[in-house]
Structure 1
Amino acid sequence: MAFREVKALSAADLFEESLEAISAIGSEGYFVMVNHSRKGPEFIQSSYPQEWQTEYDENSYHLKDPAFLWSLAKNGSRRWSEIKLPDPSGVMKKARRFGLIYGAIFSKGFLTKKSVFSVARDDRELTDDEISFLAGWFERYVTACNRKQAFSIKELDVLQCLANDMTVDEAADNLNISASAAKARLKTARDRYGVKTNSWLVASALRSNQID
């Protein structure tokens, strides 16, 4: 299978551009989590079977899953079969019931700010070329998510209001602008960062001390 190089894109564009290739390699699904901290992740998405996601969350398997625990302690990539941590709760065996038999996990960052990506198949181990491609994509994706781009003063005005627990309409009233103008400022910022939520913008502005 041939993989083409992906140009520098926004995080959203990079994800969309590569989704077909990711889904082809991870035929049974993928999981991606970006910049998880004590406040939670900035972005999280999974295409694993919904029944497995529900079982995983309800039973707090993230505290027992050897692959996920490896990703918190290490950076880099590993096939699931290469991770030798104990699995007393049988998380990996339970995952097999949903077709998640072979897989790989990728990790980047620090324990206080961690990004994790995994894919799964039901028929075979991932090849070295597939792992190399996914590792490169994951590196570019996290970099795109963390790319620093300054907000405009007008955008920061709206974001400060949202950080103060105002709605967009309330922010517009507070700034003496129309609601459509406030929404347009937010959309411009979301498009620039390649994200879908205003909460991500607020969190980014807070982290970079552009608002308080």
Structure 2
Amino acid sequence: MSDELLPILAADQLFKENAEPVLSIGTEGFFIMLNHTRRGPEFIDSTYPAAWRDEYDGNSYHLKDPAFLWALAKNGNKRWSEVRIPDLAGVFKKARRHGLIFGAMFSRGYPTRKSVLSVARDDRELTDDELVRLATWFDQFIDACNAKQMFSPKELEVLQCLANDMTIDQAAESIGISSSAAKVRLKAARDRSGRKTNSWAVAAALRAKLID
């Protein structure tokens, strides 16, 4: 995954261009949900069999699926076979009928903003190395998607000028706006990123590779 390119892409395009680890390890499909809040997810996609998705959604299995319930309650990485929540509805057994025999779940965030990745295979359990590879990929994907939301394009214009050792007045002149407008953008950048000073906002944008 190329860190230099990630922040400028929308989540769906970012996933499409960097999904190789998910596709190669999750040979029977995947489910991914990014930054789910009460307003819904920022991005959601699945390649699990259509018949299984219809059955899953139609029967509200998300309320009964031990792996998904674990992911909502916890953060981490876990093979389906390692989930200790009782499968009272037999969701795992029903999934096996669709070729989803082995799998793993990756969960990040907190209850009001959750990101989840699930992958499946029909031949064997995921190896420890595969779990680590997907966990690393998922962390990078989430970080990249969140980084692009840290600042707006107009805020980045001003931050880039400050990173180039310009004063606020010089930045405003370079961009073609008033100094007061530049200050408004900088305040918005500080507020959006939770940074107290312009220098810290510039540093955050540099670390996220949003400016150079």
- State the TM bucket, normalised to the shorter chain: 0.5 to 0.7
Distance in 2 (CA, whole Å) between partners of 1:98 and 1:12 is 26
Relative to the length of structure 2, the TM-score reads 0.67
Q: What is the CA distance between 1:24 and its match in structure 2? A: 1.4
Instruction: Tell me by how many angstroms 1:14 deviates.
Output: 4.3
1:31 aligns with 2:26: no
Superposed displacement of residue 152, structure 1: 3.1
Paired residue for 2:2? 7
User: What is the alpha-carbon distance in structure 2 between the residues aligned to residue 149 and residue 99 of structure 1?
Assistant: 43
1:101-144 superposed Cα distances (whole Å, 9 cap, x missing partner): 00000000000000000100000000011110100010011111
The offset of 1:150, in angstroms, is: 1.2
TM-score between the two structures when normalised by the length of structure 1: 0.67
Q: Distance in 2 between matches of 1:17 and 1:151?
A: 22
Deviates more, 1:116-125 or 1:21-30: 21-30
* CA deviation vs aligned residue, 1:61-95 (integer Å, no higher than 9, x gap): 00000000000111010000000101110011100
Q: Please report how far the alpha carbon of residue 40 of structure 1 lies from its aligned counterpart in structure 2 after TM superposition.
A: 1.0
Residue identity matched to 1:118: S
Alignment of 1:1-212 (within 5 A): 6-8=1-3, 9-10=5-6, 11-12=11-12, 14-147=14-147, 148-152=150-154
Residue identity opposite 1:77 in structure 2 = N
Higher Rg: 2
**Equivalent in the alignment of 1:178:** none
Structure 2 match to 1:188: none
**DSSP 3-state at the match of 2:19:** helix
- Residue range with higher mean Cα deviation, 144-153 or 97-106: 144-153
| Residues in 2 aligned to 1:137 and 1:84: alpha-carbon distance in whole angstroms | 25
Q: Which runs of 5+ in 2 are unaligned?
A: 156-191, 193-212
Name the CA distance, whole Å, in 1 between partners of 2:13 and 2:57. 29
Structure 1: how far apart are the matches of 2:104 and 2:18? 17
Shift of 1:12: 4.8
In the alignment, the residues of structure 2 paired with residue 18 and residue 151 of structure 1 have an alpha-carbon distance, to the nearest angstrom, of 23
Does the residue aligned with 1:152 lie in a helix, a strand or coil?
Answer: helix
* Distance of 2:48 and 2:64 partners within structure 1: 18
User: How much has 1:13 moved relative to structure 2?
Assistant: 5.5
* Percent identity for Structure 1 against Structure 2: 60
- 1:106 alignment partner, SS class: strand
Residue in 1 that maps onto 2:171: none
Aligned residue type for 1:52: W
Give structure 1 regions of 4+ aligned residues with deviation exceeding 4 angstroms: 11-14
Partner SS state of residue 136, structure 1? helix
> How many residues in Structure 1 have an aligned counterpart in Structure 2?
150
